[in-house]
Structure 1
């Protein structure tokens, strides 16, 4: 038993990073909005999309453990066009994704400290802190910080969830009319919800990079079974917490006749009030600090993931021999941190104080590009690129094919609704 725990402690990290990346906006914002606007009915969609997206995230960890290279390296083996397409998809979405996460984090920061006069400077300060932390400490700091954040998140969310169940759902106000999920705005929200539930599929490449970095950090190479266990446990927790956040939104807001605010700081205050309403006023400062800590963990992981994946992509595109990479591109990680932060700030300034519009745009964009990455990942773990003993089971392959059809289908629905029939 002690031996197994020792091995798990050496393996643990990449899955926890994934969970903290996922739990930020998709759970605190989108899942709470889903429950508040549409009630518990939407839980079924949360479970469905979490299940159908699962294989494509796992394949990042599976490929890294099996080949000792990142899945981005795998995209190159599919051909240079595949690598270039991944690169273009990444740069087309990274500023919007990071901007949305940064904007939400700024709202929880302002709520925690009672600040309402800094405006966009809050986001600037947050990005500056994150870039400094990552530039100095890189993965070691990220790994240590994220594990503390994960514990805080799980304890506070489970506590609020259990107390909410005990108190029961809110009695709807007189004349309350629930929103229709099947009108145009409802379908667009459903697409936005599923775009980041539990997170964007293109972020699956980060799992492989973090898996390799953890091996380098601990000098311990886990078995495929150990790597997959750590990721599956973390993924299961993200799914359970998503259901909890939907339930919190449904029990406390659905039927109240109130709209969750569009301002990031006011939205953050409502979310914190959601918790304290069930736990007690005494817990406000604890919940406010916990919520900010969760979002801070998300933004720092997002900045690391994008910078790390961009660095590796550039290395593979412009360098033929692996031994030349470290000397030629060793400073690019910090450069990309600065570029992504700057571009994301421009996005935040562009959207102003419109939290919902920015988050929905970023999440729908992620959903539309998801089928391409899903197909890439599926090809890499089921074809000639991976040994038979490392390939997924038949059941997982069936879920993968179903997931690809699902993602393509909803992308087509979005295009039809947005732009109308082509012919």
Structure 2
């Protein structure tokens, strides 16, 4: 009994980074893309969700592994590979962060409008939402984020599992007369598949956030967990993330596939359909609870995205523009808040550019993430399998094989996308 209490105490001190990762992932990729995939293509999409979640796993784990083993972030590791690698990571982050944050923010605004029945604010909803996120993080930073995200995770698990079990009990809907399923192997189908995999369970370049959150959690609790403790916490969170992705595909398939209905392209109408998806299985009485839960999940995602990008940009700028390590922390400490405002402003420009076209914005951001993924995957693999990490902390042979398979998979689909995209232009 005493041993069990001791293990739980250690886990509670370690828990946080993995939960943050899960809440970052269980946003657009699950609520939007997984549900869309099930609604448009049925359970056919399920195999790809499981496959890409498995093949991407090593590259996310390596962020946590590197941080625990070296007590530095994996971004510091990119500098160890060489300054060109660090610069490339910096440029890729700049190229993608406005689109990623914009897509997540736009979806979150839709769930906010649905919850409160607001439709007169328009794009000002996103402005207000971003202002709240920036304010919370600028004042509270990691402590507020860590506490908020754990509450969100509990709400998410209860509501999703309840809806999933009731959906299984009720079974799939009967297809309407004359229903013709969409062709996954058409050009548009493959584009969607790439978009789905781009953020399933999330973008690979976000693996650097794991390492930063792992270090911040150690600083917060003043406890340095063993490598196996850090990995256990992350693996548990990753497993939950993957299981929930499967649940959302099943929900979309059982409730929408064959109905002849198209999920709306408006963010607020889409949010309404997603919430309705839940209430059809749980009961009309649960609408307000589910609407609040869905918004809470997306709010957790957007606030984690703001923190992750600001934190990673701060560290990257520190490493690029400061030569002496002892000057790093003092010279760029305020950059975190500056980046919060910069990301907010740039993302709003992106949202205004795409207007009310939810699917186009989300698909663009997710495909962009998929194209970036092979570069970050290779960097992470080099860092944990080479001279940059003690041999005792290297991944197992099985994980190395899975990593190589993942890199080949990511490069292969990136090439397929390039051929289809540029072939259609030519």
Identify which of 335, 338, 351 aligns with 1:332: 335
In the superposition, the TM-score normalised over structure 1's length comes to 0.99
In 2: Cα distance, 1:100 partner to 1:396 partner = 32
Corresponding position of 2:408: 405
Structure 1: any 5+ residue segments left out of the alignment? none
Alignment coverage as a number of residue pairs: 423
Indicate the residue corresponding to 1:245 in structure 2: 248
Residue in 1 that maps onto 2:238: 235
DSSP 3-state at the match of 1:420: helix
1:69 maps to which residue? 72
TM-score (ref. length: structure 2) = 0.99
SS for the counterpart of 1:64 is helix
Q: 1:325 Cα deviation (Å)?
A: 1.3
What is the CA distance between 1:322 and its match in structure 2? 1.6
Q: How far does residue 422 in structure 1 lie from its aligned partner after superposition?
A: 11
Map 1:256-405 → 2, pairs under 5 A: 256-405=259-408
What's 2:193 paired with?
190
Matches within 5 A, 1:41-52: 41-52=44-55
Write out the 4+ residue segments of structure 1 that deviate beyond 4 Å after TM superposition.
none
Query: Which residue pairs with 1:32 in the alignment?
Result: 35
Residue 180 of structure 2 aligns with which residue? 177
The answer for the alignment partner of 2:167 in structure 1 is 164
Rounded to whole Å, the distance in 2 between the matches of 1:126 and 1:28 is 19
Instruction: Work out which of the residue numbers 121, 124, 127 in structure 1 matches 2:127.
Output: 124
Question: In structure 2, the residue corresponding to 1:72 is in which secondary structure?
Answer: helix
Deviation at 1:237, TM superposition (A): 0.2
Q: 1:321 and 1:247 mapped to 2: Cα distance?
A: 53
Alignment-derived partner of residue 419 in structure 2: 416
**In the alignment, is residue 206 of structure 1 matched against residue 232 of structure 2?**
no
Post-superposition offset of 1:420? 1.9
* Cα distance in 2 for residues equivalent to 1:39 and 1:123: 32
Question: Structure 2: how far apart are the matches of 1:85 and 1:422?
Answer: 27
Unaligned runs of 5+ in 2: none
Match of 2:61 in 1: 58
Structure 2 matches for 1:133-172, cutoff 5 A?
Answer: 133-172=136-175
1-structure distance, mates of 2:331, 2:89: 22
Q: Distance in 2 between matches of 1:422 and 1:340?
A: 31
Deviation track 1:97-138 (CA, whole Å, cap 9, x = no partner) reads 000000000000000000011011000000000000000000
Q: Deviations over 1:319-367 (max 9, x none)?
A: 0112111221011000000000000000000000000000000000000
1:397 is displaced (CA, Å) by 0.1
Among 73, 78, 82, which residue is 2:85 paired with?
82
The Cα shift of 1:36 comes to 0.2
Map residues 90-101 of structure 1 onto 2, 5 A cutoff: 90-101=93-104
Distance 1:282 1:321 in 2: 60
Taking the aligned partners of 1:34 and 1:422, their CA distance within structure 2 comes to 26
Cα distance in structure 2, aligned partners of 1:323 and 1:123:
39
Taking only aligned residues, the RMSD between alpha carbons, in angstroms, comes to 0.9
Q: Which residue of 2 aligns with 1:8?
A: 11
CA distance in 1, matches of 2:129, 2:119: 15
Write out per-residue CA displacement over residues 373-423 of structure 1, whole angstroms, 9 at most, x where no aligned residue. Answer: 000000000000111110000000000000000000000000000002999
After superposition, what is the alpha-carbon deviation per residue over 1:123-158, rounded to whole angstroms, capped at 9, x for unaligned? 000000000000000000000000000000000000
